[in-house]
Each structure stands twice: as structure tokens, then as C-alpha cells.
Chain A
Amino acid sequence: MARAMRLFAFALLVAIAASVDRNNFKTCDQSSFCRRLRKVEQDNSKYILNLDTLQVSAHSLEADLLNPDATFKFTLTALAGNTFRLFADEIKPLHKRYKVVGALDGEPKLTKLEVLERTKQEVVIKCGDSKVKLIAEPFKIEFYNKDTVVAVVNARGLFTIEHLRVKPQEQADGNEELPKEDPGAWEENFKSHHDSKPRGPEALAMDVTFPGAIRAYGLPEHADHLALRSTGPGATDPYRLYNLDVFEYELETTMAIYGAVPVLYAHGPENTVGVFWHNSAETWVDISNSKDTNVVSSIVNLVSGKKDENKVDAHFMSESGVLDVFVMLGPKPADVVKQYAALTGVAPLPQYFTFGYHQCRWNYNDEDDVKNVVEKFDEGDFPLDVMWLDIEYTDGKKYFTWDPVKFSHSTVMLNNLTATGRKLVAIIDPHVKRESGYFLHEDALNNDYYVKDKDGKVFEGWCWPGSSSYPDFFDPTVVDYYSNLYSLDKFKGSTENLYIWNDMNEPSVFNGPEITMGKDMVHYGNWEHRHVHNLYGLYYTMVTMKGLQARSPNKRPFILTRAFFAGSQRYAAMWTGDNAAEWSHLAISYPMCLSVALGGISFCGADIGGFFHNPDPELLLRWYQVATWLPFFRAHAHIDTKRREPYLYGSDVQMRIRNALKLRYAHLPMWYTQFWEHSRTGEPVIRPLFYEFPEDSNVLDIDNQVLIGKSVMATAVSQHSASSASVYLPGGSEQLWYDLSDFKSYTGSGYITYPVNLDKIPVFYMGGSIVSRKDRPRRASSLMHDDPYTLYVSLDNNKSATGTLYIDDSESYEYKKKKYLYIRFNYKDNTLTNSFIDQDAKYPTLSWLERVVVLGASNNFRYATLKTPKGEDTILQVSYDSEGRSLIIRKPGVSMREKFTITLH
């Protein structure tokens, strides 16, 4: 008894020391396929490409790929945008191998290739500036940008596809001819869970070397820095991609969390190359960066005068599936990210309000509570667009129902919110309460909608409602059924102003292995959960999207998701899950969102204040200031925390939070325009410095600074009682930066020590940009729709600047019918002009130009003239601030629909 007590006490101590319970989650060593693939012998590849079987078509090459035990069909396809697709599958597989469906945004566009050379040992093809050399034995593929090799597949010979086979009979005398297999190859246990592995081992792996690369980025989602660290056997575990509900996740680890995007970017000063590992099974990726291993040899080389070649090695390992890989050859970061977006798609333009402020808590107790919170926001003059309801609004965690007492008048509540221009978001999770009489459960049972266990019985797990089952969203019938639940006649008590939060969609199963579904559960088409695990969350949001579009055909949906995969940007915004009220968690919000944005999902945010525990007022107000510059802007808190709505604090804290919110609201036109452009180009809305300054070797590891498009740069202040922040100003002496708080100008000459107080964090406008703002923040963004614009013209070294502005009705799909304005502003030779990028697009906006603020203008202007095609010239007053840093052109008053020219004199 006493011993048991001591053990218990010890367990408690451990729990306090490290928040996450690492024991719940596998290491590579505890995963049979990761163990097997990491053990593959280097530089001894058994794979041979049989070039005798080579077939060349307009867009692709095809040949047999052999290893001593099996034959595969290998295909190389040339795609538009400097991208190549590698594909390999067994010619006669025992079972079909899973091919990912749902991540790609349609079939990739093909392009023509040209064979340059062909011998028995190698084939070289050309496609634009790129070349690919296929080498037969040992199998290897080299990718060239012009004549520089930028990526080599199977350079280290780790390429492996385990062909499907029948389990060898165990022989009593121990047949020594059979190679000894990994003990988990045919079935595997983790903690108390058993994986029956009915198809046996079916893993695959591929190594890629990126000569000349000095950093690797990507592979979200990890609670880690943006630049990937080196991993390897005996040291750090590989980056793991397996969507998991990790309670109180730890920072700076390669552990898997909620989302997975298997895209990797290898970046060097000359070339940036991407690899998209198109696989939805559990995946581990080892990274080896020569900078981390060359320390000793570089000293030797310093003496000998020899130069080490920079390179990054990556080793992708997946548990199952076909081999399907996209190699994107850039050559610049923006190119390669756009190439990735061309494959998996972009976020469709969200509604304007989605960039406003979202107020969430687990939970607002009832309708009165919601009403009171909104009233307090209004009394305190805190802008607010969206109120959120967590799981407690439901009737006993039965989604698509409302608590019959606390939320019995939900439509009244919704209408009260919309009366002041607000919206409501409610949570809908995939687990279904197994309660007889619950229509969703009854329908799912009667129509066979649930995921099954290996024996064909409905899978039962444990989640918020207790005993739960999980609809199989891979089944098209289930998609139709479930998406229809969002219709107003099905989801009683909802209105068109209700939007949706999809949580727990990894899926989270409290009593499952690693808090998720067992891998031998069975989905539609007889695929095992192992094959499709990382897709479950994406499919779930796809269903929600379909449902909301059917419910409100002319309103753009808003969906927030926790689990995601490559392509999720087409359906939902995401947030970084259950973080904590700690400075370190505030700090990690920028790197995590930057990484996710490079993974195609720009609409990212972190819970303001931190989900677990209670932030002190300083942490909270800093969090608001920092989060102002991430796309998704929501405060959220755990049920056990104290309330922390801004109006609950002292007047100084309130004032600072109010200022952060109002600064955010002033910049909403910028966010909206950025997302419009993202939907057109695929470029991320938030960008790390290396994205815009790829040649600057100083920015490689900077991830506490974020660029919004090409116009704003914010630096997170994530230290208690900070009196200064170190800010890197990139771009060299030619590049100007303007402090947003006082318009003081700087050049891009590297690190500065920027003094901070509690009022602000370092935010700069980039010289050469024009930012459109609405400087009349109101209660809610929808109430600002007709408000006038102020242009902030930040001049570059040549006294010129450019910027864009997108305007439409903020909510509908009318923009698809060309009902919008997409305006370019140019400032050059003391003259500001506008032009319409899509000349056939029109929108009857009531907004007009209120003010132009020119930063970096010379100080001798006396007035300005406004010319419009219709009117006569109008004289406009100009004035300077007391420091002479900004010139203000007073009230041009011209409609944003009109063409104009404003000239300074």
C-alpha cells in the first residue's frame, strides 16, 4: 500500500515536471515501420530502374522499377510550374495500395517534356529551365535548375517500398533462410492497444538530398521553430506527421500534433526546392542539415582551404500507400510555395468579418451570458465580430442540438447578435453520442454510416459525450447525409449567421491508441484507418463546407478546424489548438503559423491569452498586440480558467487591448486584400523573412517576425517586462522601413534594438508599399463596410510606392460575377494614381478616399490637386505632423469607384 502511494506520488511529480504525457505517444523506436525504415542500410540501394522497359509519352516517362523481391511501375510526369511527379506502385499487388484522394485541388496540369539523352544507364529530360536525370542502377533521380543539381532522389539509397505479401509460416525449427523481421511487422502493440495489421508490412520511404540548401522548412504542424532541426537515429526523433490530440503539448519538439502537411522546402541562396510527399498515412521525416554536422570538418577545411558543400538531406517514411511525390523546383521561395498551391489549392476568399475579433470561451454558460459579454464589449468600446460557443451549448454533447434550458432561444440570441452586426460560431465535432433516440446516432446506425472495427462491428470510442461512434466521411453517402444536417430545417435553432468550428477531428478518441482511432479500423472502400488517418480531419471540413454552401448558397462559409492535411486551406481556417498561458506559447505562435502558411494554410491563429491556465494582464495584452498580426484573431480559454474578457481588467490594460483591437480593425482592408490575392496567386498571406529576402543569410532562422504580404512587418514581443526588442530590418540600405507608431524611418541595415513599452510592439510599414486602412474602427467590421479609406503611402528609396485594395460586398459569391473592385495604387513623381486591375469588375461601393498619408515625403509640399475624369481639378490641403515624418493630404473625397490622380505641389 505504502509502495503504491509512493509510486503515485512519483507519477504526480513527473506530471508536474512535463506537461504533456509523452508516454501516450509513440517515438520512432516504438513504431515498427519507422524502426524498419530507419535501419535501411545507406549507400546500398537494391533498386534498379529497368530502362529497357522505358516508355516515353508527351508528358511522362514510364519504366519498371525492380528490387530483388518485387517489380514496380515507376512514372515521372512533368507538370506545369516547374514541377515533377514521381509515382510508383506494385505491378501486381496482393492488395491494392492506397492512393490519396482529396488533398489535390483537381488533377495537376501537365506540361510537355523533351528527352535530351537516353542510354542504358540513364535518361535525361528537359522541361523549361529544368532537367531531370534518371539513373538506372542504383536507382537515382537528379533534378537540375539549368545546370545546377538541386535535388537528388535516393542519393543515399534509402528508397524502399515494402511489397505486400503473405505472412511467412512460422516454422518450429526456425528456418534460418528467412531474414529476421522486425517484431512489429505483422502485428504491433502500443500500451494496451493491439494493431492486427491484416495486410502486414507495407511501408515506403525515400531520401532526397538538396545540394546547396542551407535550411529546411515546412512539414507542419509542429510546436517548433520554423527552420527544421537535424534529426537522426540516436538523437532527435524524426518530424512526425500523424494528426493527434495532444493534451498540453510541449514546445520545441518534433512530436506530432493536430495537423499534417507533408511538404518540405529546402532553401539556399540560389535555389529553393520543395517536395510534397503525397501520403495520408503516418509519416516520419528525418532531416539532416550539413550545417549541424559540419562543425568539425569546417574547422579542418578552414585550415586546408577547402569549402564544404552545403546540403540538406531528408528521409520520408510512411506506413502505407503508393509512392507519390511532387518535386517543385522553384527556384525562389515564392515560386515553390506557389507551385505547391497549384497542386493543393488555395483558400477561397473568406467573408470580411472573419478577420475581425473573435471572442470564445469554454464556455459561455447561456444566452444571457452571451448577451452580457457583447454588451460589456460595447460598453467598453472593444470591437467584436464573432461570439463563439464551445461544446456546452449542446444538449448533452449531442451536436446539432441545443441545451433545452440554457440555449432554448438560440435564434433570438443569433438575431440579437446580428442586430449589432455580429455573428455566432458554434462547435460541431465528429464523434456522435451513442444514445438511443438521438436522431444522428439512430440514422447512422440504421444506415450504416459509422466507421467499423476490424471485425466489421461499429467502432465505439470514448469522447466528450462518453461512448461515441464516428461517421465515415470517406463514404459519399455519409457526406451527403451529414452535410445536409447543416440545413436550417435540420439544424433547428440555427440561422444563416451561424458558422462552424470543427474540433476533435484528428479524430480524437480518448481511449484509443495515442488518443485516436486504431489503425485497423475500417473505412469505406475497405481501406484501413492507417491508410487515411491524416485525411479524416480534411474530409470532415469538406463535409461542413458542402453543408454550409448548401444552406446559404450565396454566403461564403467560415469553418475553423483543428486537424488538417495538405489541401485543408480549401475548406477551413485553422488554429494551433490547445496552447497555454505562457510566454513561450505566445512566442511559438508566429513560427507555428508561418510554417502552416508555407504549408498552404494562411488562415492561422493561436488562442489569445493561451487556452490552459490564467495569463497575467501583461501576457494577455501582449498577446492581443502580437495576435493583431496573425490572420485568425480569436481569444479562447479553458473552462477551469478565470474569465479574461478585456473589460474585466484595469483601465490601462483595457486601453492597450482596445488599441490593439482598433489597430486590427483599421487594417482589415489589408487582410481582406491579402486573402483575395492569396486566392488568386497562392502566395501566403503571412511570410517569414526568407520568403521575401531569400538571399539574406541573416534571416534564415528569424521566425519571431512576420511579414503580411509585402507591406507590414511585425515582431513578437514575448518576454515578461520587456523594455526593448531586437528587430531585424532586412533589405539593405536601399530598403526603407517606417515605424507604424511614429512613422520614424529606418533602413534595412540589420538588427536594431527597438525600445518597447506596454503600449506597443515593433511594427513597420515596408518602404514601397501602400496600405489601405479604414481608420474609423467601429463595434463590428460589418458596420464599417461603407466607411472611407485612408491610404498609407510608404515611399521607397526612389520616392515611389505601390499597393492594392480589394473591395466587394464582404460576404457573398457575387465577386465571382465580377462584382468587385481590385485597385492598384501607384505613387511616383509626387503623384498618386489608381487603376483597376480587373477592368471589367465593378462594385458600387459607397466608400471614398478620406485621407492620404505619405511617409518619407520631402517637406516642401504646399498643396495637392485632385483630378478625376469627370470633375475639375480640386485643390487639397496638405499638412505635416510636428516631426515632419508624415504628410497628410486632406480629404480627397473621391469615390473608390473612380479613377483619380492626386499630385503634390
Chain B
Amino acid sequence: MMPSIPKLPAKSYVLCILLIVVCEISTSEVPRPRGVPLSHNPLYNPAKDFVCLDNSLSIPFSQVNDDYCDCPDASDEPGTSACIHGTFFCMNVGHTSTYISSSRVNDGICDCCDGTDEYVKGKCANNCQELGQSAMKEAARQSELLKAGKQIRASMCEMGIKLKAEKKDKLVIFAAQKIEAEKIMREKEQIKKNIEELESAALEQYRQIEEENKRIKQEEENKKNRQEAEDTFVRFDSNKDGIVEVSELQSLHTFDRDRNGEVTVEEAKYFLNSKDSMSLEDFVVEAWPAMKPFLMLDEGLYKPPQPAGVGEVEEVPINGEEPTTEAEFEEAADEEGVNEEEDEEDEEHPEEEEEHEETNPEVTYDEETQNLIEKATAARSEFTEADQSVRDIQSEITKIEEYLNKDFGPDEAFAPLEGECFDYMDYEYIYRLCPFDKATQQQKSGSSDTRLGSWSKWSNQNYDAMLYDRGQSCWNGPQRSTTVAISCGSENKLTSVSEPNRCEYHFTFETPAACYKATTEGIKDIHDEL
């Protein structure tokens, strides 16, 4: 895994050699005040008074590093904690030289790897060699990683550019197809329009005939019904006084709605529209419609349309009994209602289509009309097909345009990530990042996804952070949002998830697509003091 030193690039060799030189220098070190960087050493001359580096004051050299701050710029105390704004230079031979704040000198904590910051208690070991080596290894590893990453990135870029190019090509094709499809659609529309005019004219006469037939039929029905009513009236009017009374109905078991073997006054009255008696005319208008289904049921002629309907008819509680059942019915009805609504929506389109095909099977058209109808039907179906085809192409175009508008970073490196998803699991949740789409969270126990944000934008010009916002709202809080910090890695991987503020998530994501910075970064700063 770790590259051995001989595999290091030539530049690193030079650094190693330089480091060895430094080691030798430091063993026979040029005397310099504690905490002073080598480059500033000439400014500290023990033979002369010391002039603060900002030229504000001249002090005897004995006051340099005497643990008392004289210079406003802190330059007289490079090696002590006396000046609050001062810095201390750690040579850190074998590792990276650094400056630390003077406040960290002699505070009991080893801040410099060479231990020089803790000279009063002197309890710090020098571990610069080890750290330097591991830093070097780490830098080499990073460099390898970057190198490998860059290679993968190159192929990602290639793929990204190709994807975009393909999409662009497709766009051109689709655009052409769209023009063609629109042309066909318009033609089909014209054909449909023409034939429908003919069809409509031909059907007009049939429609008139049909209406006349309907009217006649209805009249016959009415007559028949009237006759039935009159017959029944006569049958019920047992005392033949031309009036049907409650007592007369009470003798007819048909009206025993609760099936208790007795027709009560209430039961009888129910059919007489709450009246005590009725003349023939009233009977025909008011009583007959309510009565007829019962009589038919009695005769076995009538079958209620649904079981629920039967229930209702049979069990209408006269005294408001069995309220529980009623409530249950209502609930059931409500539920059905909901379903019906949904069904309606689903069936909307088929119904519309059926409307056109509405032909009376009983009517037989003459050959010419029949022909026209068939042609019109065919034209309509062809038009619908053509129209759908235009829509389909448009939807493809929209998709491609959306894709082409997405910023996949320099050289389209991030494009291949689109459409992919990456998971990160902690002990409670599975987090998922679908780049350029969304971030989600799912409980491991398996409940549904919580949307932590939808793709919004790159957070900055460096393409190292993405923002996903407009996620699901928190209870009593804001909409969830997620920032994704992107770094170079040899594979695409969601590496951590945290929630620093409530409902604000922070993902870290490694991808070769982010490997495009200079290879030498990280090790090039070593020993700029040399």
C-alpha cells in the first residue's frame, strides 16, 4: 500500500537530501536566540543593542529573550511567552518547521515536535524524525492517491464529456424528430377533423330518429306504470271507497318492513307518505314510487343492485336503533368514497376515449355511415398516437436540456456521478447521497426515506461543496438541508455524516472527480526556511 522511498519522484529525493543537510547544520548549530527563525538570525546580534524589528525601540541585547516583553511587535521575545502577540519558531528538524503562538511556550504542552517550546520543564521528547517520516509517507500516499485519482478522474471526464456530447447529439436528433412528429401530428389532426365533419353530418339523422324512439318508449313505460299503479290501488282499496287507507295497507304483509309479523301504523304510513289515506291520484304520484320496489321484491322480480343497498332497505332502523352499525356503514361509505375518487382520476382518460366510441349497438347504420364511423375512429386513434409521440419527444428533450444545464464541474468530471447513489451507514440510519439529485436518510429499522435535501447548487467556485436544500421540514423547525464536502479519493465514497445544527446535515464525499489539484501540494512547503 505505502510506496517505499525508492519509488518517490525525483523531487522528493532532493528534499530528503536537503533534510540530511539540515540535520548536520543543526547538530553544529549556529548560535541564535531561542525561537528565532534562521532567516532572522542576522537581526539578532549579541554584540549590538537590539532594535525592535518595527524600529520602535532599541534595547540592550541582554533584554532579548529575558522573559519580559519590551518591543510592541514582540520581536525581543521570540523564545519566551512574554509577548502576547509573539510567535515562536520550531525548527522541527526532520519534519515541517512551524511557528507557534508565544502563549504556547512553556505552558506544559508539547507543541513543537522537537520539544523546544517546553524548555523550562524540558519534558518533551523530540519525535520530529518519526513524524517527519510518517508525514513524508502520508504525503507520498496523498500524492499516489492524487495520481491514481487523477487517472480515474481523467476517465470520468472523458465519460462526462462523452455523456454530454451524446446528450447533445440526441438533442439534435430529438429536435429533428420533434419537427417531423409535429408535422405528422398536424396532418393527422387535419384528417381527423375532415372525416369527423362527415361523420357528424351522417350521424345527425340517426340521432334524431333515436331520440324519437326514446320518447315513444318512455311514454309507453309511463302508461304501463300508471296502469300498474291503478291496478294496485284497486287491489288495496278493499272496501272500494276510492281511497286507500292505513288500515287497508296493514293487512298486507309486504309492508312489514321489520319482518316482525305485523304491519304497524308507522310501517303503513311510511308508504303513504305519512298520510292516513290517499286518493287514486295521490297514490299514483306519492305512494306508488315508494311501494313498487317492495312489491317487485315480493314477487321476486326486483334484485337490489348492491348488497349494501339490500342491507339499507332491509335494516333501516325505524326508531334509530343500532347506531353502531349505522356509524360503521358511514365509515365504510366514506372509505369507498375516497376510493371512488381515486378511481375516477385513474379512469379519466379511458372514459374520454369511450365518449367518442359511444355508439348505440341497437342502431344499425347504413353501409356508408358505418364506413364513415370506422374511418373517423381510425383517424382519431392515429391522431392520438401522433400527439403522444410529440409529447414523448418533448419530454426527452426537456430531460436532456435539464441534464445539459447541470454544472458537472470542470471538464464534466462529476457527470458520471449523476444517476448513481452512495450510502453511508451509522448505527441508527442509512444516509444516501444521489449526486445532483437528492440526499436522504432512512432508519435502519426500515421506515420510509426522509428527504434531507434536493440538489440545489455548488456552494462555491472550487467545486468542493454541494448544497442540497428544500428537504422535509423538521417538526417545529426549518426545512432540512445538507451540505456535502467533496474531497479527492480513489473511489466514490460517502465517508461521514453529521448534524452540526438541528436539521442541517453535513456529508463528506470522496471522489476521484475532485482529484485535480497540484500533486506536490502538502509536501512542497516542507522547509521553506532552508
Contacts and interface: CB of A to CB of B under 8 A. Distances in A.
Interface stretch (B22-30, B100-108, B374-382, B460-468): B100-108
Interface stretch (B44-52, B255-263, B296-304, B498-506): B498-506
B330 to A, nearest CB: 16
Contacts of A120: none
Contacts of A640: 476-477, 502
Interface in A403-450: 405, 419-421
A783 B107 contact: yes
Given A640-B476, A850-B68, A891-B68, A778 B502 contact: no
A658 to B, nearest CB: 11
Nearest to A381: B101
B502 A779 contact: no
A777 interface: yes
Interface in B60-93: 66-68, 70, 81-82, 84
B501 A643 contact: yes
Most buried by A among B107, B427, B476, B477: B107
A643 B107 contact: no
B333 interface: no
A405 B427 contact: yes
B165 interface: no
Contact of A419 (B82, B109, B502): B109
Contacts of B427: 405
A783 B108 contact: yes
A639 interface: yes
Closest 3 A/B residue pairs (Cβ): A783-B107, A891-B68, A405-B427
A682 B108 CA distance: 35
Contacts of B84: 662, 775-777
B199 to A, nearest CB: 53
A755 to B, nearest CB: 25
Contact of B81 (A641, A643, A776): A776
B104 A779 contact: yes
A309 interface: no
12 contacts: A365-B498, A369-B498, A369-B500, A405-B428, A421-B107, A775-B84, A778-B81, A783-B107, A784-B107, A788-B67, A850-B67, A890-B68
A195 interface: no
Contacts of B82: 776, 850
Nearest to B500: A643
Given A421-B109, A777-B103, A778-B107, A787 B502 contact: no
Given A640-B476, A776-B81, A891-B68, A420 B109 contact: yes
Interface size class of A (residues with CB under 8 A): 20 to 34
Contacts of B109: 419-421, 779, 783
Interface of A: 365, 368-369, 381, 405, 419-421, 639-643, 662, 775-779, 783-784, 787-788, 850-851, 890-891
A421 B68 contact: no
Contacts of A641: 501
Given A643-B500, A779-B103, A891-B68, 18 more contacts: A365-B499, A365-B500, A381-B101, A421-B107, A640-B502, A641-B501, A776-B81, A776-B84, A778-B81, A778-B103, A779-B107, A783-B107, A783-B109, A784-B107, A851-B68, A890-B68, A890-B70, A891-B67
Contact of B104 (A778, A788, A890): A778
Contacts of B502: 639-640
Given A420-B109, A640-B477, A776 B500 contact: no
Nearest to A850: B68
Contacts of A779: 103-104, 107, 109
B501 A642 contact: yes
Contacts of A777: 84, 103
Contacts of B104: 778-779
Interface in B494-529: 498-502
A788 B120 CA distance: 14
Interface of B: 66-68, 70, 81-82, 84, 101, 103-104, 107-109, 426-428, 476-477, 498-502
Contact of B103 (A368, A405, A776, A851): A776
A891 B498 contact: no
Nearest to B108: A783
A641 B101 CA distance: 33
Contacts of B498: 365, 368-369
Given A640-B477, A643-B501, A891 B108 contact: no
Contacts of B428: 405
A156 B68 CA distance: 67
B108 to A, nearest CB: 6
Contacts of B426: 405
A891 B69 CA distance: 9
A19 to B, nearest CB: 15
A194 B68 CA distance: 71
Nearest to A383: B103
A190 B109 CA distance: 59
B366 to A, nearest CB: 61
A369 B477 CA distance: 22
Contacts of B101: 381
Contacts of A365: 498-500
Contacts of B67: 788, 850, 891
Contacts of B476: 640
Contacts of A891: 66-68
A420 to B, nearest CB: 6
B293 to A, nearest CB: 37
A850 B84 CA distance: 14
A421 B103 CA distance: 14
A776 B67 CA distance: 11
A422 to B, nearest CB: 11
Contacts of B499: 365
Most buried by A among B428, B476, B502: B502
A639 B501 CA distance: 8
Contacts of B108: 421, 783
Contacts of A421: 107-109
A89 to B, nearest CB: 51
Contacts of A420: 109
A845 to B, nearest CB: 14
Nearest to B84: A776
Contacts of A778: 81, 103-104, 107
A775 B82 CA distance: 9
A788 B501 CA distance: 41
B396 to A, nearest CB: 43
Most buried by A among B66, B103, B109: B103
B66 A787 contact: no
A777 B428 CA distance: 42
Contacts of B66: 891
A643 B498 CA distance: 13
A421 B104 CA distance: 12
Most buried by B among A643, A775, A778, A787: A778
A450 to B, nearest CB: 32
Nearest to B68: A891
Most buried by B among A368, A419, A779: A779
A791 to B, nearest CB: 15
Most buried by A among B82, B427, B428: B82
A787 B500 contact: no
Nearest to B101: A381
Contacts of A775: 84
A787 B501 contact: no
Contacts of B68: 850-851, 890-891
A604 to B, nearest CB: 29
Nearest to B476: A640
Contacts of B81: 776, 778, 787
Nearest to B110: A419
A777 B86 CA distance: 12
Most buried by B among A381, A641, A776, A784: A776
A784 B106 CA distance: 9
Contacts of A662: 84
A787 B107 CA distance: 9
A419 B110 CA distance: 10
